[in-house]
Each structure stands twice: as structure tokens, then as C-alpha cells.
Amino acid sequence: MKNKSIEDRMTIAKSHKTSEETLVELANDNEWVVRCAVCENINTPKQILDKLSDDKNEGVLWSVSQNENTPQETLKKLAFHKESSVRGFVARNPNTPARTLERIVVNDDDELVVNDVAMNPKVTKRILDKIDLRNKVS
């Protein structure tokens, strides 16, 4: 795989026909854009998404946070990442548990992240009420 161009590796990583073995290999690629492409593949195994949630590159973390197959435990961890953009993607991910969404609303200082929770399909009336209350107090 190393003899292929970055663009070719990205294409392979995004393909729904790519084997799990190849995705594992590409998840360890030196190029962050290739690792992002792995995260964007809906067939990427959960254990790879979990591993990539520890990546040092913010773009990779954005991609992990947006994949609907990212494990809930991984999303719970990323919900309190130092970068607000990562937290915002977690807030919008439909796989994020409602309890985690509520914790974001209660604990996150970034109003944009809190408002991202409102776009999540799992948002409950209780959570929306908490967002509304926060917005009135601000």
C-alpha cells in the first residue's frame, strides 16, 4: 500500500468494498488525510474508530466524531475533548447517547456546542428545555 499515492490510499479507504484488513493497515497510515478517509468509511470496524479517537490530528478526530458507527463509549470520551469542534461533531452524531447529550448541555462552556445538541435526532424534550433555560440565563 505504501507504493500507492495519497489520493489512491484515500480512495481505497473510503470504498465500501475495502476489506477490514486493508482498513486496519490504512488506519496506521502516516498521512492524516488517509486516516480521515478510513474514519469516513461506514464499514470501518468500531475498534478502528475507537483506536483513531486517540489520534493527535484534529481532522481525524472530526471524522471519528461524525461516523455514525463510532461506539457510544468513544463518543462519550470525545464529548469532553478540549477542542470544541470535536465536541460539536459528537453533539450532532445520532449515535451519541441522550445521557451524553444532556451532560454536554450541562457542562460545556461553548454555546455553539450546546446548540449543536439541539440538532441531534436523539435530543429529548428535557434536553431541549435545558438548552432553552441556558439560553435565557445567558
- Three-state DSSP string of 3-60: CCCHHHHHHHHHCCCCCHHHHHHHCCCCCHHHHHHHHHCCCCCHHHHHHHCCCCCHHH
Question: Does 81 map to a domain?
Answer: no
Q: How many domains does the chain have?
A: 1
Confidence label for 137 from pLDDT (cuts 50, 70 and 90): confident
Question: Does 114 map to a domain?
Answer: no
Question: Does 131 map to a domain?
Answer: no
Question: Cell match 451532560: residue?
Answer: 103
pLDDT at 73: 98
Nearest to 80 by CA among 107, 46, 99: 107
For residue range 80-110, what is the model confidence (pLDDT) as tens digits? Answer: 999 999 999 999 999 999 999 999 999 999 9
pLDDT at 21: 96
Question: Does 87 map to a domain?
Answer: no
pLDDT of 125 > 70? The answer is: yes
Question: Does 26 map to a domain?
Answer: yes
pLDDT at 13: 98
Question: Does 102 map to a domain?
Answer: no
Residue range(s) defining the domain that contains residue 45: 1-70
Give the pTM: 0.92
Question: Does 50 map to a domain?
Answer: yes
pLDDT of 138 > 70? The answer is: no
CA separation for the pair 32, 10 (Å, rounded): 10
pLDDT of 2 > 80? The answer is: no
CA separation for the pair 92, 114 (Å, rounded): 10
Question: Does 84 map to a domain?
Answer: no
